[in-house]
Amino acid sequence: MVEKQDDAANIDKMSFEQALHELESIVAKLESGSVELEVSIDLYERGEKLKNRCEALLKKATARVEKITLSSDGEAKKTEPLDVE
């Protein structure tokens, strides 16, 4: 049980690129079909946590993106949150 908590804490510290890279590795292992059932289940659970981490980081990054409004002379006059919908 402690191992799973430590595992989740490690994922929470990963960058987007680290989480995505590991997630891609897990997907490749699962798609190969050469992994035992119990290991597949563990990999799937970790993959789900990694996917959630990637989604959270993407959502956070999207919230930070701003649309810059330019004045007629080409100067930036204001910024506003990006409308993602």
pLDDT digit string, tens, across residues 11-60: 999 999 999 999 999 999 999 999 999 999 999 999 999 999 999 999 88
Q: For 8, what's the count of Cα atoms within 13 Å in the CB-facing half-sphere?
A: 8
Q: For residue 80, what pLDDT band results from cuts at 50, 70 and 90?
A: low
Write out the chain in H/E/C secondary structure.
CHHHHHHHHHHHCCCHHHHHHHHHHHHHHHHHCCCCHHHHHHHHHHHHHHHHHHHHHHHHHHHHCEEEEECCCCCEEEEEECCCC
What's the rounded mean pLDDT across residues 75-82? 64
Instruction: Look at 29 and 70; give whichever has higher pLDDT.
Output: 29
Q: What is the pLDDT of residue 79?
A: 64
This prediction's pTM? 0.71
